[in-house]
Amino acid sequence: MVHGFLGGSAQWQGQRRPLDLVAPVIAMDLPGFGQNAHLPPLRSIVSMADWVIGKLRETGVARYHLLGHSMGGMIAQEIARRDAAAIDRLVFYATGALGLLPGRFETIETSKQRAEEDGIRNTARRIAATWFRDGAAAPNYDACAAIAERASLSAFHAGLEAMRDWSGEAQLSALDHETLILWGDCDRTYPWAQINRLWSELPRARLGVIPGGAHGVHLEKEALFNAMLFDFLNRS
C-alpha cells in the first residue's frame, strides 16, 4: 500500500485487519513522510517507485498486490511498469494518469507559497481538510491531519514538484494487470474525468464508485471501501 501526498502508513489502520485475510499487508512510508519524515525526500515519481521496489526486494517480497492512493497511485503506475512480472493485481485509488491536474483546488505554486508563509503544520491541516466531504468536521480528520503535518517542508515541496513533472497518460494501455479503480463521488482532488480516463484506457479495469465519500473515502466509508477491496483481491 503506497500512500499519497502528505500521507503515511498509519492511515491504513482500518484496512490492515480485513486485508490480512488476503495476504500480509506492507504499508510504506515514503521518504519525508509519516514515520520516514526524517529521511531526505525524493524528487520524482520515478525515484519514489524505484525506492518502493527496492524496499520490497530488501524484505524478500517476490509477488504482491499493489494499491496506490492519490500521488501513491502515480507511483503505483510506475512500479507496475518497472516490476510488472511481480505484481498480481493493481488498485488505483483516487488517482489519475496526470500529475498536474487541471482545476486543482489551488495551483501548486500557491500551495508552495502558502506552506512557506503559514508553516507546514497549518498548511498540512488545511489541505487534509479538503480530503473529506465534511472537511475538518469529519470524524477521522484529526488523525489524518496528524499524519499529514509530520511531513517535512522539503518533502512538501518535493512531492508537489514530483507530481507537477509527471504524466503517465501515454503509457496507460501498457498496464495489463487486472485493475480496480476506486473513487469517492465527492472527491474534489481527482474529478470524474481523471477517473474515467483510467477506467476507459486501462485494458483490464473495473470501477468501484463509493457514494458520499471524498478523497479520503477509505476513512469516511471504511466498511464499504474494505468490502469492495476485499472482494476484488479475493476473487479466484
Task: Pick the range with the lowest mean pLDDT from 17-21, 82-86, 158-162, 166-170.
Answer: 17-21
d(CA 98, CA 113): 22
User: How far are the Cα atoms of 4, 22, 78, 79, 120 from residue 72, in angstroms, in the given order?
Assistant: 4, 21, 10, 10, 20
Q: What DSSP letter does each residue of 164-180 carry, written as one string?
A: HT-B-GGGGGG--SEEE
Per-residue pLDDT at 67? 98
- Angle (CA) 134 25 148, round 5°: 35
Per-residue pLDDT at 109? 87
DSSP state of 40: P
Fold category of 9-233 in CATH: Rossmann fold (3.40.50)
- pLDDT one-digit tens code per residue, 59-72: 999 999 999 999 99
Residue type, 137: A
Domain parsing of the chain, residue ranges: 9-233
- pLDDT one-digit tens code per residue, 93-135: 999 999 988 777 678 888 899 999 999 999 999 999 999 999 9
Per-residue pLDDT at 232? 96
At 217, the pLDDT band (50, 70, 90 cuts) reads very high
Mean pLDDT for the chain overall:
95
pLDDT over threshold 80, residue 158? yes
Cβ–Cβ < 8 Å for 34, 10: yes
pLDDT over threshold 90, residue 210? yes
Per-residue pLDDT at 104? 72
Q: Find residue 91's DSSP bridge partners.
A: 67, 180
Task: Pick the range with the lowest mean pLDDT from 18-22, 46-50, 65-69.
Answer: 18-22
User: Residue 80, SS3?
Assistant: helix
- pLDDT one-digit tens code per residue, 179-207: 999 999 999 999 999 999 999 999 999 99
Cβ–Cβ < 8 Å for 20, 26: no
At 137, the pLDDT band (50, 70, 90 cuts) reads very high
Name the grid cell of 23: 495476504
Name the grid cell of 207: 470501477
